Each structure stands twice: as C-alpha cells, then as structure tokens.
Amino acid sequence: MTSDAIVLAGNLLVKPFEGYAKRLPDGGCTSYPDPGTRGDPWTIGWGCTGPDVVPGTVWTLEQAQAALDKHLLFFASGSTKMSPSLLSEPPRRLAAVISFTYNVGLGNYRVSTFKKRIDAKDWAGAQEEICKWNKAAGRVMPGLTRRRRAEAQLLG
C-alpha cells in the first residue's frame, strides 16, 4: 500500500538522512545552502527545496512537516507512475524508491539504470545501482553513501 510506503520512507529514510537542519529556538527552521553545492538549491526543513526556498526563508515546524508530507506524496506518485510494478511490491521497496527520488529527483530516476533494474524486478541489480548514487557535485558524500546503503537494504 502506498501510504505504508510513504510513512516508511519519511520515518526510516528521509527524516533521518535529510535531518531537520537549522532548527530555531521556537522549533521552526531556516533555509540553508545545499551541502553538496554549497549554494543552490536552498533547502529547508527535512531537505525541502523549491522556488520559494531562498536565503532567509523561515518555516514553522508545522510548515516543515506539511511540506515534507506534500513532497513525499509527490515523489510516491511520480515513482509509481514511472514504475507501476512497485505497487505490487512490499511497501519497503517503494519506500526506498520514494527516498531516492526525494533526494535526486524524478528526472534522474526516469533515465537511470536503477529504474531499469526496478522495472525488471532485478532487486540485486537495483541494490547495486542505487549505491552508485552517492555523489554530489562529483564528490563522494559519506551521508549519501550511508543513505544509499539503507535504501538498498529495503530493496532486498
């Protein structure tokens, strides 16, 4: 079920790996530059980006949670439209793909060998492919390496 996968993705992967950065004393948060590029895209809450997130953006905790929920639903919907067979898989597999697309975008997923492995139900191949996506701005990022390993475990 998609809702189970969304909850898993949010609680097991997105929240822990994105973190709730730049927390303010009142529980809200402020925007920060992307850790990989040290600039765009500006990010807020649990890794949310968008045209309205610029230097100095401030959100309440409630705004951050609402944005996370909206983004998770968006990426779940996009992932299952591109790979409908995920709907018949255990929620953990869809959760891994939601987390991946939340992090790298649906466009990157659409053209990836990772998606080809998912669509072929080649789960070992998908585990191998997802782990290759551990770089930002051409540099291996330890946090992305850990995240991809966690996502890969859910694919197995």
Q: Is the per-residue pLDDT at 43 higher than 70?
A: yes
Cα 156 to Cα 146: distance, rounded to the nearest angstrom: 16
**How confident is the model over 45-54, as pLDDT tens digits?**
999 999 999 9
Nearest CA-CA partner of 9 in 56, 58, 79: 79
pLDDT of residue 136: 84
pLDDT of residue 107: 98
Higher-pLDDT residue of 114 and 37 is 114
pLDDT of residue 111: 98
Structure tokens at 152: 């890969």
Distance between first and last Cα of the chain: 18
pLDDT of residue 51: 93
**What's the residue count for the chain?**
156
Alpha helices, DSSP H, located in 33-121: 61-82, 91-104, 106-110, 113-119
Higher-pLDDT residue of 107 and 137 is 107
Verify whether residue 18 is a known catalytic residue: yes
CATH of the domain at 55: 1.10.530.40
Give the range of the structural domain holding residue 14, as residue numbers without chain letter.
Answer: 2-155
Cis peptide before 41 (omega within 30 of 0): yes
Average pLDDT, the chain: 95
Q: Is the per-residue pLDDT at 89 higher than 70?
A: yes
Look at the chain and report how many structural domains it folds into: 1
Active-site residue, selected from the candidate residues 18, 62, 89, 151: 18
Q: Give the pLDDT band (50/70/90) at residue 137.
A: confident
Q: Give the pLDDT band (50/70/90) at residue 39.
A: confident
Residue 139 one-letter amino acid:
R
